[in-house]
Amino acid sequence: MLALDPAFLAVQALSGLSSASSLFITACGLTIVFGVTRIVNFAHGSLYMIGAYTAATLVPRLLELSFGPVTFWAGILASAIVVGLIGVIIEVLLLRRIYGAPELFQLLATFGVVLVVQDLVVQVFGPQDILGPRAPGLRAPVEILGRRFPSYELVLIAAGPIVLGLVWLLLRKTRFGVLVRAATQDRDMVASLGVNQALLFTGTLFLGAFLAGLGGALQIPRVSAHAGMDLSIIAEAFVVTVVGGMGSVPGAFLAALIIGQLQAFGILVFPKSTLVVVFLLMAVVLAIRPHGFFGRAEIVGGTHAVGIASRALLPRRHFILLVVIAILAGIPLVADAYLLKVATEILIFALFAFSLQLLIGVGGVVSFGHAAFFGLGAYGAALAVKWYGVSMEAALPLGLALAALGAGLVGAFVVRLSGIYLAMMTLAAAQILYAVAFQWVEVTGGDNGIVGVWPAPWASGPIPYYLLTAALTVVTVLLLKRIIDAPFGYALRAARDSEARAEAIGLSVRQHRWLAFIIAGAAAGLAGGIYAFSRGSVDPSLLGISTSVDALTMLLLGGIQTVIGPLVGAAALHALRDWIMPITSLWRLFLGLSIIAMVLIFPRGLVGTIRDWWGARA
Amino acid sequence: MTLLTVNGLHKFFGGVVAARDVTFTVARGEMLAIIGPNGAGKSTVFNMVGGQLKSDRGKVLLDGHDITYTSPQKRFRRGVGRTFQVAQTFLSMSAAENVQMALISCNRQSNRLWTAARERHRDKAVELLSRVGMAEAADVACSALAYGDVKRVELAIALAGQPKLLLMDEPTAGMAPRERAALMDLTASITESQGIGVLFTEHDMDVVFGHAARVLVLLRGQIIAAGSPDEVRQDEQVKRAYLGDARALEPLRGMSPA
């Protein structure tokens, strides 16, 4: 029995400790930044990645000048400082302008930074992975109970508690630390005491980014710096901060220890699904303690939800609807096969984004993992075709049902949560499903996905499938619109506007939100199913963060305060992508900058801006 | 006839006793005021009656039914309406829609998915708004109303549930003096005509002594005096509680109580 060998267990526990240390150093920065600024910084993972790339490039050059441990560690430290300065730049240019914005905008803006950094890193450091040098003096492994163990890992194990101690000293013994702790407790109070907030926030970002960079730089002897390490570390760092309680440094340490061990030993039980185990831990902790180990309830206010408001009915709305339907039906007369394919995808994503609008714009429930339901619908349909050989007519409802079921399960967990915890939990749910789709190769086909998902004969070919998509999309959007205007939609808005008032007039807020999850999930699942048949295949990326962010970007682009915004946003984003992508390889840079620009300049989106302009003119 | 019975209510926050053995009753058609200096436990008692806080000991009975541990939603169905210290309305909706929403919930229609909400109970909502003098503003968005008007809309929302008991947490906070008197006169006439019991907290002594039938004085979580406005005004302990200022509870010279 390999697993019961004490030496093996010891080595496994030690490697769990060393990954816990690395994770803590990075997550500690994230939690401090959140505590002071109340911003969940997606770009924290990007800073970690920059730290790794910088160190892997800088340290070898320094070692050429003078070989020795001092040079190595000085190089690591210098890289972390460089990243700290980049954090300062991000704070001054972006974060400073969005401290008062709704949290959805903050999440999206920092995700915009993630996209920008991804392309910039490739431009600056090149597309290859960079393996850093091993630390001088720590090259030989040590023997532990007869097993060889890398000595560098032992240094990492020590690094976690050292950083914890230094951060503790900084927070307890310096004026800066006192202010950081005070701001974590009550930001407004600190502001009214005459503290220079700009300096405090910039300093906090330097500290947070420095820790992210340090976490990344320390990795270079273990793993090569590569594109994609940003999103994998940010997912884990989110789990650590959420489980520990957002803003709590000791909480992050405890959570990192637990997660490190869970990963080290979970690999023995579920060899492929450590990610699932980690996210399940988060689900369990949040189900018992909605604010993590040491977190506190968020102070309501400041991060108020934005969404649609009552408006006067358009005078000729039925006529306008007929014109839109006529245009949609007439497109096949003028469009070629390629344009029809684009139009089909736009319609699918419009439906997907519109289903999310029910949660965000109407319910004020910021779901950051809506791709979960899109993907469930797509996989549900594809699996039904692959394993049971059912027809498209049966597969689409099956996909929808699977998505509704998934939304019911996820919804039951998350409706107890609020704000940022809810966003993180929905993100975690989507990541769990992503991991399942990616790792359960026998059933889902893993990375390759499932192919051969073709529509029924009567619906195949670009024109029939386009018409089917248009019909399903129009009918579903009209049904959802009806629901938004019905008492149920109003009840969701009521709970969004004032939860206390909604409860005082007898509304069961959680039950309504749960039902909203199921309806939105079902609609997203339908969109996913149609998408699967339009492409003939599904793959795990449908469940990924970027699919969720696509839907959110469409909402933002179209306008969160409008009903038709998501539809316009879907068309605009898709058109932009088709137009820009062939021209440049820097699509992510462009998309990221666009998201940031929208948050800063047009927070009301295309439809909202046009409507305001129209209203001001009238 | 007794509408609300509060018996031996206790609430601890860690080592702090926010309410100790609070006992009182409210009769139908009666207006009872709870006063006391800041931190006396007014809002704590209030939120335990409204269901926003759970009491640690004691009982709350409405019409003889034990509602000590029921949720705010169920209390609403039993006939408890309330307004908040900072007015809570649905700012994305018009004044009429706010009241319609309460009527929809009152009729248990909030899960309906078909007929538009703005077409439901419209007449009844406008009638309720006209009772608080807000009929003209029925189609104005709540976010565009002046604060005093928002408070009146909130009163209409609370009345939409046909409450037996109305809880008003500092009903006139943030309003101009003239508006205060008008709002309380309005409340008094509505509650009197329908036999609604009113429990309210207030800092404005003119409002308290002008409108309350009885006054309850809280200090450090305990009731130190109860009785008619005149009895309370004469009470030595009450005078000391208000920062030792024996004149704090006297009406201002030259201003008649509203």
> Any idea what the CATH number is for the domain that residue A420 is in?
1.10.3470
What is residue A189's predicted lDDT score, i.e. its pLDDT?
84
Residue A344 sits in the same domain as residue A284: no
What is residue A302's predicted lDDT score, i.e. its pLDDT?
36
Contact between B91 and A504 using a beta-carbon 8 Å cutoff: no
CA-based nearest residue in chain B for residue A362: B92
Q: In Å, what is the CA distance from A262 to each residue of A229, A278, A475, B253? A: 20, 7, 47, 74
Q: Does B188 touch chain A (CB under 8 A)?
A: no
Please report the number of interchain residue pairs, chain A to chain B, with beta-carbon separation below 8 angstroms: 111
Residue A229 sits in the same domain as residue A376: no
Q: Is the pLDDT of residue A99 over 70?
A: yes
What residues of chain A lie within 8 A of the CB of B115, using their CB?
A: 486-487
Q: Which residues pair with B19 in a beta bridge?
A: B11
Report yes or no on A186 lying in a domain: yes
Distance CA B26, CA B31 (A): 8
- What count of Cα atoms within 13 Å lies in the side-chain half-sphere of residue B112? 17
pLDDT single digits (tens) A39-70: 889 999 999 999 999 999 999 999 998 888 89
pLDDT single digits (tens) A278-295: 888 888 888 888 888 888
- CB-CB: which of A307, A501, A507 is closest to B92? A307
Q: In Å, what is the CA distance from A485 to each residue of A204, A356, A479, B110? A: 45, 16, 10, 12
Contact between A491 and B104 using a beta-carbon 8 Å cutoff: yes
Report yes or no on A428 lying in a domain: yes
Q: Is the pLDDT of residue A436 over 80?
A: yes
Arithmetic mean of pLDDT over chain A: 89
* Range in A273-277, A394-398, A404-408 the model is least confident about: A273-277
Distance CA A422, CA A286 (A): 10
User: Which of A186, A111, A29 minimizes the C-alpha distance to A427?
Assistant: A111
pLDDT single digits (tens) B138-160: 999 999 999 889 999 999 999 99
Mutation for testing the A interface, residue in B43, B70, B82, B90 having most A CBs under 10 Å? B90
Distance CA A78, CA A454 (A): 55
Type of residue found at A375: G
Distance CA A540, CA A520 (A): 21
What is residue B233's predicted lDDT score, i.e. its pLDDT?
85
pLDDT single digits (tens) A495-547: 999 998 999 999 999 999 999 999 999 999 999 999 999 999 999 999 988 89
Report yes or no on A319 lying in a domain: no
Residue A356 sits in the same domain as residue A276: no
Contact between A505 and B116 using a beta-carbon 8 Å cutoff: no
Q: Does B122 touch chain A (CB under 8 A)?
A: no
Q: How far is B91 from chain A (nearest CA, A)?
A: 6
Residue A416 sits in the same domain as residue A496: yes
Per domain, the residue ranges of chain B are 1-79+163-179+194-251, 89-162
Report yes or no on A437 lying in a domain: yes
Helix (H) or strand (E) holding B227, with range, is strand B222-227
Helix (H, G, I), strand (E, B) or coil at B22: strand
Q: In Å, what is the CA distance from A167 to each residue of A26, A160, A197, A244, B219? A: 12, 11, 20, 16, 44
Residue A96 sits in the same domain as residue A226: yes
Domain extent for A88: 2-288
What residues of chain A lie within 8 A of the CB of B158, using their CB?
A: 504
Report yes or no on A14 lying in a domain: yes
Number of domains in chain A: 2
Q: Point out the domain boundary residue: A288, A304, A325.
A: A288
Q: Give the phi and the psi of residue A50 in degrees, each rounded to 5.
A: -60, -40
Under 8 Å between Cβ of B214 and B46: no
Mean pLDDT in residue range B194-215 = 89
pLDDT single digits (tens) A3-12: 568 888 888 8
Q: Give the phi and the psi of residue A190 in degrees, each rounded to 5.
A: -60, -40
What is residue B256's predicted lDDT score, i.e. its pLDDT?
45
pTM score > 0.95 for this model? Answer: no
In words, the CATH class of domain B1-79+163-179+194-251 is: alpha beta
Contact between A487 and B50 using a beta-carbon 8 Å cutoff: no
Residue A575 sits in the same domain as residue A508: yes
pLDDT single digits (tens) A206-263: 999 999 999 999 999 988 999 888 888 888 898 899 899 888 999 999 999 999 998 8
What is residue A192's predicted lDDT score, i.e. its pLDDT?
85
Q: Is the pLDDT of residue A143 over 90?
A: no
